[in-house]
Chain A
Amino acid sequence: MGAVQNFFDHYNYIATIVLMVAGLYIVIARGNMIKKLIGLMLFQTSVYLLYIAPGKIIGGTPPVLDPNFTVYSNPLPHVLILTAIVVGVATIALGLAIVSRIHEAYGTIEEDEIFAREEQE
């Protein structure tokens, strides 16, 4: 019973780990370049959850100063993750642009086909 209680107490960390591992698995196991980028996006999303979920303090109000309240939720993780989301968007956009150019240059976006073509050169 204690283990189940422990599990459900930390469900946000469990979700983070599941997303993280799923994202990494897709990056490693799939050869299609777009699928790898999707896995990468999933992996980065898990990190957002890692930061934001502990930022909510139980019993805390939104972080706007008010004389009636003393416990506020932490606004700093939100700021950090906003930066991280922008970085993630830029990375994925760049990745997709490179995949688009690879498709024009090679005619395929499967990694094994591209490596086979390079082996011949």
Chain B
Amino acid sequence: MSAITAQLPGLQVVVPLLGAIIAAFMRRGTLAWAWATLITAFTPIIAFALLFQVWSNGPISYHMGGWPPPIGIEYRVDLLNAFVLVLVSLVSTIMMPYARRSVAHEIDGDKQAWFYAMYLLCLAGLLGIAITGDAFNAFVFLEISSLSTYVMIAMGRDRRALVASYQYLILGTIGATFYVIGVGLLYLVTGSLNFADIAARLGEASAAFPRPVLAGLAFLFVGISLKLALFPLHLWLPNAYAYAPSFATAFLAATATKVAVYLFLRIAFSIYGVALDLKALPVSTVLYPLSIAAMFIASILAVYEQNLKRMLAYSSVAQIGYITLGIALMNQAGLTGGIVHLFNHALIKGALFLALGAVMYRAGTVKLDDLGGIGRTMPLTFAAFVLAGMSLMGVPGTAGFISKYYLIVGALDAGKWPVAFLIVASSLIALLYIGRAVEVAYFRPVSQAVAHAKDPPLMMLVPMLALTFASVYFGIDTELSAGVASRIAELLIGGLK
């Protein structure tokens, strides 16, 4: 038993990777789905086991290939890692039953098995980024997850999915290459690729070579921001989320950007923060205007969108602005707000995109004008949409409120009253676009496209309702989400120089 426990960090990545390889041999869609569900179901078990271990015993270190750290690749699990691992694996498992009908409806028969193979590869890549303690290994997993994402998006039915996938490929590869340049600069000055080792050596390296260290930070920041879809670098996200298959959109919206946020936290707080004075570096100065711009501009763009999926994609960009604002505040409450919003947003957007996928499954369209009266023909689905939307707005009693609360407290702690006001103001814009969808859904006559639509089958309904319930539940019982997040924030800030 302890032999398996010792191997858990390695298994976290090996299980989905082996699953992806075996899925690549399959030809039938349903078999591939069943296999993918089985493999995905193992990952949260491993992730929870890791979380319990880390919570009681402290960080875990796993040596890949038996080679000790600065020489070999190390998988280092601490509380932040374990939190992200649990989030990604749990949300993926909840979404898997949904995939069967949705993928079968939107992707041609012979390509379905490949879709599931790509999905498992993407899952392996995301889990790998979250667990690895080696900078270049993070790049490899980043590219594994990105390449499989490009394939998943390109499998969308609309021909615009191809253009969206191409745009994402160009921008995503530029981002990953910027990340590699940053890692290269850090490697040149410190001589190591291991996160902990770089942190140990960065202090003296920065004294000897201040400019490459700063340049490395800049390159890393820009590269990860491209993957994060931070404000000016978000151009790939609306099209990619709008035209990809619905299950792929829901999966990516809930996981991909969150793992990029984790990587950013790791680099800013566990490498640069430990060796240099993080508040003296220009990180916050750059993050403040970009986050606030994201919060406002993306929300306003969402109000004008006709395609509901694109509207939610712009909303995602805005919510990522909240997360990075929490990071920019760099105090206990602000960082807690950012991390807990990472968790809550995954649940909220997962629920919203699953609801839209159900609409696509039954009605075949997500254009707002065609969806009149859908709240009456698909009651449960739209109830889920409204509840998750309320959580998105930050209505008290839902998870979204908890994140906004911590962010506002953090802003006030930092003495930035205007920022707190801006957080509230931008949440009101969310009211506009969710309210517009609600108005069309409930208060217009039933339109042609949705006349025969009804609620989706049980396998699709249950994951959607589970995530919606979670997005409300975590607004009431916050011990698991905000409690863990504040402990993580404490550890991150405590490690600062």
Direct contact of A and B (CB under 8 A): yes
- Taking Cβ atoms with an 8 Å cutoff, the residues of A that contact B are 20, 24, 27, 33, 36-37, 40, 43-44, 47, 50-51, 54, 80, 83-84, 87, 90-91, 94-95, 98-99, 101-102, 105-106, 114, 118
Contact B177 A98 (CB under 8 A): no
Contact A91 B143 (CB under 8 A): yes
Alpha-carbon gap, A91 to B160, bound state (A): 20
Contact B188 A101 (CB under 8 A): no
Q: How far is the CB of B470 from chain A (nearest CB, A)?
A: 35
Q: How far is the CB of A94 from chain B (nearest CB, A)?
A: 6
Interface of A is mostly: helix
Which of A20, A33, A84, A114 has most B Cβ within 10 Å? Answer: A84
B34: Cβ under 8 A from any A Cβ:
no
B180: Cβ under 8 A from any A Cβ:
yes
Alpha-carbon gap, A95 to B169, bound state (A): 7
Contact A51 B184 (CB under 8 A): yes
Contact B140 A87 (CB under 8 A): yes
Interface members, chain B 459-491 (any A CB < 8 Å): none
Contact B150 A47 (CB under 8 A): no
Contact A33 B166 (CB under 8 A): yes
Given A83-B136, A98-B166, are A40 and B150 neighbors across the interface (CB < 8 Å)? Answer: no
Partner of B177, one of A33, A43, A106: A43
* Shortest 6 CB-CB contacts between residues of A and residues of B: A105-B159, A87-B143, A98-B166, A102-B162, A50-B184, A91-B173
Contact B181 A105 (CB under 8 A): no
Interface string of B174-197 (1 = CB under 8 A from A): 101100110010011000010000
Residues of A within 8 A of B150 (CB): 94, 98
A-B pair count, CB < 8 Å, reads: 65
Contact A101 B162 (CB under 8 A): yes
Q: How far is the CB of B238 from chain A (nearest CB, A)?
A: 13
Residues of B within 8 A of A43 (CB): 174, 177
Partner of A98, one of B136, B154, B174, B188: B154
Other A-B pairs beyond A83-B140, A87-B143, 4, CB < 8 Å: A40-B170, A47-B181, A91-B169, A106-B159
Residues of A within 8 A of B177 (CB): 43-44, 47
B163: Cβ under 8 A from any A Cβ:
yes
Partner of A95, one of B140, B143, B166, B174: B166
Contact A98 B162 (CB under 8 A): yes
Contact A102 B163 (CB under 8 A): yes
B151: Cβ under 8 A from any A Cβ:
yes
Contact A27 B174 (CB under 8 A): yes
Q: How far is the CB of A114 from chain B (nearest CB, A)?
A: 6
Interface members, chain B 287-327 (any A CB < 8 Å): none
Partner of B173, one of A40, A99, A101, A114: A40
In the complex, residue of chain B having the shortest beta-carbon distance to the beta carbon of A97:
B154
Contact A102 B174 (CB under 8 A): no
Residues of A within 8 A of B180 (CB): 47, 84
Contact A44 B173 (CB under 8 A): yes
B165: Cβ under 8 A from any A Cβ:
yes
Alpha-carbon gap, A108 to B429, bound state (A): 39
Alpha-carbon gap, A32 to B145, bound state (A): 26
Alpha-carbon gap, A96 to B122, bound state (A): 21
Alpha-carbon gap, A83 to B174, bound state (A): 17
Residues of B within 8 A of A44 (CB): 173, 177
In the complex, residue of chain B having the shortest beta-carbon distance to the beta carbon of A103:
B162
Contact A114 B163 (CB under 8 A): yes
B147: Cβ under 8 A from any A Cβ:
yes
Q: How far is the CB of B250 from chain A (nearest CB, A)?
A: 22
Contact A94 B140 (CB under 8 A): no
Contact B174 A24 (CB under 8 A): yes
Partner of A94, one of B147, B163, B174: B147
Contact A27 B151 (CB under 8 A): no
Interface string of B137-161 (1 = CB under 8 A from A): 0011001000100110010000110
